[in-house]
């Protein structure tokens, strides 16, 4: 599951990291509370040319008559992405990477309180989250692929976003032939830092600012 994330790396740095041509309509950074329906920067590859493009986080299937014609789709499950009608074509033809500096996940506290935790890569680099995208009208929309949680998630949540390593980017983006399904797996132990609790302020989609990722006592 991935329902909120951060992007603190500049767009220029992301373009350089992914060797991508940046668009001129990319969202401003930093953003410490990227929420569903926000515009996000996404890496795609067309004929081997990578582009950093702006997309709406919230995949809109082709048959929707309006963006709110059905459920808001922000994640695609790795175990059903190849068979669900919404994603069948996208997983074959329109895979992408969603750069993120970190992401939030929630555990349940007393009285079902939602307790947020923050995850980042141990090496400090941006995460390359696996995604699928869809053109709807004149808008490009994206969903993040999730899988069963690995050891890095601990007991916080049973699912996590698929995080791609640099050597796997060409395969996921369709530049290195077929077989990308093998990449939809949990992150290896040690790739992510140990998560830490952050304040419940981030539970609001209206919250913003660097204080959102400051640790608090667990």
DSSP string, 68-129: TSS--B-EEETTTTTTSTTTHHHHHH-EEEEEESEEEEEEE-GGG-EEEEEE-BTTSPPEEE
Active site residue 96: no
Tell the residue number behind the tokens 């696996």, with chain if given: 130
Domains in the chain: ranges and CATH? 4-213 (3.90.1680.10)
Q: Are 6 and 31 in contact (CB under 8 A)?
A: yes
pLDDT (tens digit per residue) in 105-146: 999 888 888 999 999 999 999 999 999 999 999 999 999 999
Element (H, E) at 61: none
Residues with Cβ < 8 Å from 55, sequence gap 6 or more?
39, 40, 41, 42, 96, 133, 139, 140, 141, 142
pTM above 0.85, yes or no: yes
Tokens of 135: 């053109």
Q: Report the share of the chain in percent with pLDDT over 90.
A: 88
Find the catalytic residue in 2, 35, 96, 160.
2
Nearest CA among 40, 44, 55, 48 for reference residue 9: 40
Q: Higher-confidence residue: 158 or 31?
A: 31
- Cα–Cα distance list, 95 to 60, 81, 92, 158 (Å): 15, 11, 7, 24
Find the catalytic residue in 93, 105, 110, 189.
105
pLDDT (tens digit per residue) in 65-116: 999 999 999 999 999 999 999 999 999 999 999 999 999 999 988 888 899 9
């Amino acid at each position: 599951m991935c329902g909120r994330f951060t992007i603190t790396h500049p767009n220029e740095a992301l373009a350089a990291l992914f060797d991508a041509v940046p668009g001129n309509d990319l969202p401003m950074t930093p953003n410490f509370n990227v929420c569903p329906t926000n515009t996000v920067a996404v890496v795609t590859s067309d004929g081997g040319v990578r582009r950093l493009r702006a997309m709406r986080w919230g995949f809109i299937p082709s048959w929707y008559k309006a963006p709110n014609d059905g459920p808001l789709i922000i994640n695609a499950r790795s175990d059903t992405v190849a068979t669900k009608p919404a994603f069948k074509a996208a997983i074959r033809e329109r895979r992408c990477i969603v750069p993120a500096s970190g992401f939030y996940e929630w555990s349940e506290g007393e009285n079902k309180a939602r307790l947020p935790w923050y995850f980042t890569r141990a090496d400090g680099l941006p995460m390359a989250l696996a995604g699928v995208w869809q053109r709807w009208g004149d808008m490009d929309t994206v969903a993040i692929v999730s899988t069963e949680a690995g050891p890095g998630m601990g007991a916080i949540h049973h699912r996590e976003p698929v995080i791609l390593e640099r050597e796997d980017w060409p395969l996921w983006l369709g530049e290195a032939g077929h077989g990308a399904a093998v990449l939809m797996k949990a992150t290896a132990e040690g790739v992510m830092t140990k998560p830490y609790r952050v304040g419940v302020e981030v539970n609001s989609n209206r919250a913003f600012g660097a204080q959102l990722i400051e640790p608090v006592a667990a």
